[in-house]
Copies of this chain bind each other. A is one copy, B any other.
Amino acid sequence: MGLLVVGSLGLDTVATPFDRVEEALGGSATYISLSASYFSGPIHLIGVVGEDFPKEYIQLLENHNVDLNGLQIVPGGKTFRWSGVYHYDLNTRDTLLTELNVFEKFDPVIPDYLKKTRYVCLGNIDPTLQLKVLDQLTNPMFVVVDTMNYWIEGKKDEVLKIIKRANVLIINDSEARLLANEPNLIKAAKKILAYGLQTLIIKKGEHGALLFSGDTVFSAPAYPLEMMFDPTGAGDTFAGGFCGYIYKTQDTSFENIKRAVIYGSTMASFCVEQFSTKGLEDLSYLRIKDRFRDFLRLSQFDEQ
């Protein structure tokens, strides 16, 4: 049946202290799909672009075994555009421009042949649309949801609704604090689980990630990168690697979810090493596996 991915596709203009790209391939669904594609296929992408969306980007996604039957191409429409500039330490950025364009009226339609999909990754879009997607599925089994400050502040009720229907929520530390209205991250996590969630993943950027499920906590290290070129899409790439590995193994035990967190971190580390989606275009499962083993070496110790 494959993995269903819903989210944005866009053209990003990004400046970092090191370089600058114009109208590069971007969007949450793009990063999720490319990242997940290394684990197993097919990836079914649901999204929208304008007629101006470059053919080469379509080709790139298709080369990665991404099924684009669910991609709406709006005749005469303009693709979503985002532009941002990162500060010196790459931890903060300013958005210079957000042009929703065809994304403004995006209404995700799940083709009939995908309605029975059981593994779903809902990228960061309006929670109302995320709910609409779930309403079209007959029996989703493993639903992973990403969201952001903007929706937590503006549509908290919808965010809480989608959380109750999700198996895994992936957010960053500031989003977790905001969602729970609690400065202590461990307390915030418990509060969010109590909203009716099985598993919560809190990404902490250069400090790794925390996984919470019931009373159990798992701390994933960050890959020790000497050079980060472009953090754009790192969170989506994490979600893609996470979902791709879970779908590949069809194993949602806690032990396997831990591995999926490490695969998510692995993919994110490749993503930030290059601009835009470049770091995700020519990987091999062997290289991914090698870096997974680096994560093992990085964090393993014993009792003696």
Chain B residue at minimal CB-CB distance from A187? B226
User: Shortest CB–CB separation between residue A93 and chain B, in angstroms?
Assistant: 16
Bound-state CA distance A233–B186 (Å) is: 22
| Residue A227 interfacial (CB < 8 Å) | yes
Residue of B190, B226, B297 near A184 (CB, 8 A) is B226
Chain B residue at minimal CB-CB distance from A249? B304
Let me know if A219 and B299 touch, CB within 8 A: yes
A175-210 interface code vs B (CB 8 A; 1 in, 0 out): 000000001111100100000000000001011101
Bound-state CA distance A303–B304 (Å) is: 21
Cβ contacts under 8 Å, A112 to chain B: none
A296-B304 in contact given A206-B185, A219-B222 (Cβ < 8 Å): no
Let me know if A221 and B221 touch, CB within 8 A: yes
Chain B residue at minimal CB-CB distance from A205? B207
Cβ contacts under 8 Å, A297 to chain B: 216
A298-B224 in contact given A207-B204, A259-B304, A304-B256 (Cβ < 8 Å): no
- A interface list, Cβ under 8 A from B: 88-89, 183-187, 190, 204, 206-208, 210, 216-219, 221-222, 224-228, 249, 255-256, 258-259, 262, 292-293, 296-304
* Complex A-B: 28 CB contacts under 8 Å: A89-B183, A184-B227, A185-B206, A186-B225, A186-B226, A187-B226, A190-B226, A207-B207, A207-B208, A208-B221, A210-B224, A216-B297, A217-B224, A218-B298, A219-B221, A219-B222, A221-B221, A221-B299, A255-B302, A255-B304, A256-B304, A259-B301, A259-B303, A259-B304, A296-B301, A299-B299, A299-B300, A299-B301
